[in-house]
Amino acid sequence: MKIFMSALLLSILGCSQSSVLTIKGRLTVAGYAPHSYLTIKDATTHRTYKIKNASSFDLMHKQKKVVTIKGKLQQNAIGPGFPAVVEVLKVYDTNTTN
């Protein structure tokens, strides 16, 4: 019972410690249909983030454009092919393609 309670407490604490990020980068689609997803590559850190809720902000129509988003980190990167996952809270601006 103590092990179960400890595991439950750790999972709750792990989920509540998501950090807020501001990411400026280019939106691109990764993967192959039907498993494709929208990503943003941070221009300063060169890290790629998978966008969890792209449809909520109609971001698929902004592919190949540079945007600045404020988002909450949902999951850290696991390794190659498994980028960090971010939930978009706000899209600040959209610039034209360079």
Instruction: Kindly report, residue by residue over 36-77, the tens digit of the pLDDT.
Output: 999 999 999 999 999 999 999 999 999 999 999 999 999 999
**pTM for the full predicted model:** 0.75
Range 24-41 average pLDDT = 94
Q: What's the pLDDT band for 12 if we cut at 50, 70, 90? A: low
Q: Is 84 part of any domain?
A: yes
Domain assignment present for residue 11? The answer is no
Average pLDDT over residues 83-89: 96
CATH, residue 32:
2.40.50.140
Quote the number of domains for the chain: 1
Instruction: Identify whether 56 is part of a domain.
Output: yes
Residue 6 lies in a domain: no
| 11-46 b/e (C-beta count within 10 Å ≥ 16 → b) | eeeeeeeeeebebbbbbeeeeeeeeeebbbbbeeee
1 in any annotated domain: no
Any domain includes 37 = yes
Instruction: Give the pLDDT of residue 8.
Output: 47
pLDDT grade for 26, boundaries at 50, 70 and 90:
very high
Distance, CA of 70 to CA of 13 (rounded, Å): 22
Length of the chain: 98
CA neighbor of 87 nearest in space, from 42, 64, 56 = 56
Q: Determine, yes or no, domain membership for 51.
A: yes
Domain holding 27, by residue range, is: 18-95
